[in-house]
Structure 1
């Protein structure tokens, strides 16, 4: 069974872990404060979950990994253990939390491209950034359900994109795969599709009409 390595155990990370375990995946979870603060979550998740001593340990075990930490901390993501691996990026840019990042303010790059630059030999896929964390475990529906919600996956790497699209499907969501990674701005905060419970055609339309902040 696939092991999902989580670098970060906040709102999104913990909900992804809960959903993954409910589907039979194994999860290895790291937290910058150390494994001692993860005891309650690991106890809740049961035998399919364990706490890692460090992000590097979670990265080593991961197939794939999920980076779900504040954007200003991405330089702490271990590089070597993630070489050749798929890395799911859940991040959004919040200047009040992350500080001002000139390249993002100027819209010459995206949060996921920054992570890809940090992990040049990994396969970064943007996903799970535009759904409220609690809904990761509650909003999934079986394939074919008329009320099934769609989620975007964005990457430069077709194979990684296909893998993450299948994961979204397993989690109960229709995948909307998008290339290249630079297009991930279309589902960043304050865009029409952000945190909206949309079907796949509606989400495709929302991304099509998205505008850069500078054009708003």
Structure 2
């Protein structure tokens, strides 16, 4: 899946890795947008069955390897400090959506992410060398992701950025973002995803499409 254009899948199956605050919300909004979704934590799916039932009804709790195997899109929604324990082979040849942030005041200093030459998703992509990595959903709070969904054409529809190096992968993820209730703004590369990170011009900001595009252009200029 790496290195080439990805064709759009009519309704890709989504696997969400992470059952903390973020993962169940992503699972729920995706289910409500019509996607098939499985959710996995680091161990036995029975341990997250109640969480799934309450917070993401319709999401199937599964072992991580089984969830990933059947998915076209894998959403990485684990705490960033646990990323070092993720086996890259688990998501090899998969499209991985990185929703994580490197935020030292919260996670502490993580040596892996201290290389200032790269954005955090580029560092994720370096480690997941056999995966196609796209960055999005990291610059909106999980509670906002649920509450601020709006239909196409709504004057209150919020924009979310998507960064990646594979245009087909970006298009596939953009379709998901649009279907869950947001306007997708494509950034030019995975490196440009640093604009979506803490301290960036759009992190945590409620911006409509034209405002979002203006903000990232101004920062990149």
Which residue of the other structure, out of 49, 52, 68, is the alignment partner of 2:77? 68
Q: Distance in 2 between matches of 1:115 and 1:75?
A: 9
Q: Distance in 2 between matches of 1:43 and 1:91?
A: 24
1:141–1:13 Cα change, 3 Å: same
Aligned residues: 209
1:127-206 to 2 correspondences below 5 Å: 127-206=136-215
Q: Distance in 2 between matches of 1:210 and 1:119?
A: 28
Aligned residue in 2 for 1:19: 29
1:106-145 to 2 correspondences below 5 Å: 106-145=115-154
1:102–1:88 Cα change, 3 Å: same
Shift of 1:121: 1.8
Q: Distance in 2 between matches of 1:6 and 1:78?
A: 15
Shift of 1:33: 5.0
Which residue of the other structure, out of 68, 91, 113, is the alignment partner of 1:59? 68
TM-score by length of 2: 0.86
Q: Distance in 1 between matches of 2:219 and 2:23?
A: 27
1:36–1:96 Cα change, 3 Å: farther
Q: CA RMSD in A?
A: 1.9
Aligned residue in 1 for 2:46: 36
Aligned residue in 2 for 1:214: none
- Unpaired runs of 5+ residues, structure 1, are 212-216
- Unpaired runs of 5+ residues, structure 2, are 1-10
Instruction: Report if aligned partners of 1:71, 1:111 keep a CA contact under 8 Å in 2.
Output: no
Q: Which has the higher contact order (CA 8 A, sep 6+)?
A: 2
Q: Distance in 1 between matches of 2:100 and 2:124?
A: 10
Which residue of the other structure, out of 92, 96, 100, is the alignment partner of 2:101? 92
Aligned residue in 1 for 2:13: 3
